[in-house]
């Protein structure tokens, strides 16, 4: 077999990018579509997880970043900037390192997971901590890109969506058609917009006979698309989606309307419970925000919704190792067991005899 070449080389003919664009890649995309035995059994449906934590920097952002960085470099950029709740900055820093351009990131002070901050720093980014939230950081990033020679690579840059839409192509390829329903966490709303773009193009190209219903899940304290208005002070433990004023608002609403879908919200407790169940039942460890879609499926199951017999794909957006602090903080009931280095002692402590 041949090696996966990354989303630009695999899908160049389907990307709306300049023909002269170079390829700056870490081999992103080609992520596994893993059937969830647990969710399939519970819902009587065929439920698959698109495991985007398996991308090179541990989140779906790499799909968009390979394209955004490649196009920026093709256009002569020497520095790139982004606002981030953590994953975008980790990804941008890695691709910028590879491209040899200067990465500048703006993040909300004290509100991004340690793993993501470590990634940005070790890849050589200049990290600026902002007294404010993600929405403030995005406003600053736009301002810097307007006034100074730095290219903005947030998802307001349409090249990001070009890259991220390839996840839909991979799902259609793996299933042989589009699913009935697609579920995913939603923050700045770039990803739901990109998936919808990808599914529409797959149907137009004749690769899929249908387009899925798009269902986006937000965190309770940061649910502008559900509440119908920007949230001035968004709050959630799922720091990746702690966003009050999504940049891709109109595209996201369009995706929901055109697909017959909608946006809904789950509480932090529901998110953490879903994260833990997904890890312990399916063996898939995702960061809290990434479990919002699974939490949504569980909520609707409890409400009596019926998806039996349907094909459902849930995108789990980022790797659990990004944010071990939050994962461990939920395990206050797990007590450390310490024994002497002795088989009998270990067996006794483990309840084996």
Residues of each annotated binding site: 87, 187-191, 317
CB 195 to ligand F0G: min, Å:
9
Structure tokens at 216: 């986006």
Q: Is 236 in the site for ligand F0G (CB under 6 A)?
A: no
Which DSSP string do the residues of 15-60 spell out, in sequence order? S-S-TT-----S------EEE-HHHHHHHTSEEEEEEGGGSTTSBT
Site for ligand F0G (CB under 6 A): which residue of 97, 151, 159, 189? 189
* Residue 292 near residue 160 (C-beta atoms within 8 A): no
241: DSSP letter: G
46-51 and 33-35: which strand pairing?
antiparallel
In this chain, which stretch among 183-191, 199-207, 223-231, 270-278 interacts with ligand F0G, using CB under 6 A?
183-191
141 scored as a contact of ligand F0G (CB under 6 A)? no
Kindly tell me which of 46 and 323 has the beta carbon lying closer to ligand F0G. Answer: 323
SS3 content of the chain, % helix, strand, coil (to 5): 45, 15, 35
User: In 3D, which of 78, 70, 96, 86 has the Cα closest to residue 148?
Assistant: 78
**Of the residues 25, 162, 191, 236, which one makes contact with ligand F0G according to CB under 6 A:** 191
Q: Which is nearer to ligand F0G, 46 or 59 (CB)?
A: 59
Q: Which of 55, 57, 85, 157 binds ligand F0G (CB under 6 A)?
A: 85
Tokens of 17: 């990018």
DSSP, collapsed to helix, strand or coil, labels residue 264 as: strand
Q: Between residue 51 and residue 80, which ones bind ligand F0G under the rule CB under 6 A?
A: 59, 61
Size of the site for ligand F0G (CB under 6 A): 22
Q: Identify which range of 83-91, 93-101, 198-206, 207-215 contacts ligand F0G by CB under 6 A.
A: 83-91
Task: Tell me if 21 sits within 8 A of 41, measured CB to CB.
Answer: no
First to last CA, the chain: 49
| Nearest to ligand F0G of 46, 246 (CB atom) | 246
User: Does residue 157 contact residue 247 with C-beta atoms inside 8 Å?
Assistant: no
C-beta of 25 vs 245, nearer to ligand F0G: 245
Element (H, E) at 88: helix 87-99
Within 262-301, which residues bind ligand F0G (CB under 6 A)? Answer: 287, 289-290
Does 259 interact with ligand F0G (rule: CB under 6 A)? no
Helix (H, G, I), strand (E, B) or coil at 282: helix
Q: Tokens for 20? A: 């002269």
Structure tokens at 44: 């009587």
Cβ nearer to ligand F0G, comparing 52 with 170: 52
User: Which of residues 84, 157, 259, 270 is near ligand F0G by CB under 6 A?
Assistant: 84
Residue 318 CB, nearest distance to ligand F0G (Å)? 3
25 vs 186, beta carbon nearer ligand F0G: 186
Instruction: Please check whether residue 34 is in contact with residue 170, taking contact to mean a CB–CB distance below 8 angstroms.
Output: no
> Is 108 one of the binding residues for ligand F0G (CB under 6 A)?
no
Judged by CB under 6 A, the chain residues 304 through 323 that form the site for ligand F0G are: 317-318
Nearer to ligand F0G, 165 or 200 (CB): 165
Using CB under 6 A as the binding rule, whether residue 157 contacts ligand F0G is answered as no
Binding residues for pyridoxal 5'-phosphate: 87, 187-191, 317
Backbone φ and ψ for 217, nearest 5 degrees, come out as -115, 125
| Among candidate residues 53, 119, 113, 114, the one with its CA nearest the CA of residue 92 | 119
Q: Which residue has the tokens 């990001």?
A: 160
Binding site for ligand F0G (CB under 6 A): 59, 61, 84-88, 155, 185-191, 240-241, 287, 289-290, 317-318
């Amino acid at each position: 077999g041949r090696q996966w070449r990354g989303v630009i080389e695999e899908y160049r003919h389907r990307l709306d990018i300049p023909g002269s664009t170079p390829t700056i890649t870490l081999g992103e995309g080609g992520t596994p579509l893993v059937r969830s035995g647990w969710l399939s059994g519970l819902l009587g449906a065929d439920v698959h997880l698109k495991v985007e934590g398996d991308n090179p920097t541990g989140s779906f952002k790499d799909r968009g970043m390979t394209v955004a960085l490649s196009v920026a470099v093709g256009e002569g950029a020497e520095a790139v900037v982004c606002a981030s709740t953590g994953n975008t900055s980790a990804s941008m820093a890695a691709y910028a390192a590879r491209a040899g351009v200067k990465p500048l990131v703006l993040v909300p002070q004290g509100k991004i997971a340690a793993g993501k901050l470590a990634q940005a720093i070790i890849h050589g980014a200049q990290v600026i901590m902002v007294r404010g939230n993600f929405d403030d950081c995005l406003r600053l990033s736009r301002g810097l890109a307007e006034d100074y020679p730095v290219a903005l690579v947030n998802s307001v840059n349409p090249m990001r969506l070009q890259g991220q839409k390839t996840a839909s192509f991979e799902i259609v390829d793996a299933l042989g058609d589009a699913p009935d329903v697609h579920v995913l966490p939603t923050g700045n709303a770039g990803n739901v917009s990109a998936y919808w773009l990808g599914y529409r193009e797959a149907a137009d190209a004749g690769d899929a006979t249908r387009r899925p219903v798009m269902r986006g899940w937000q965190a309770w304290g940061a649910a502008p698309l559900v509440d119908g208005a920007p949230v001035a002070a968004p709050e959630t433990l799922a720091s990746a989606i702690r966003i009050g004023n999504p940049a891709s608002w109109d595209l996201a609403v369009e995706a929901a309307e055109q697909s017959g879908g909608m946006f809904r919200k789950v509480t932090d407790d529901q998110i953490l419970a879903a994260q833990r169940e997904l890890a312990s039942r399916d063996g898939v460890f995702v960061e809290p925000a990434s479990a919002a879609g699974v939490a949504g499926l569980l909520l609707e199951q409890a409400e009596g919704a019926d998806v039996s017999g349907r094909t459902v794909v849930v995108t789990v957006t980022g790797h659990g190792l990004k944010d071990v602090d939050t994962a461990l903080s939920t395990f206050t009931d797990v007590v450390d067991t310490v024994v002497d280095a002795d088989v009998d002692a270990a067996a006794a402590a483990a309840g084996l005899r």
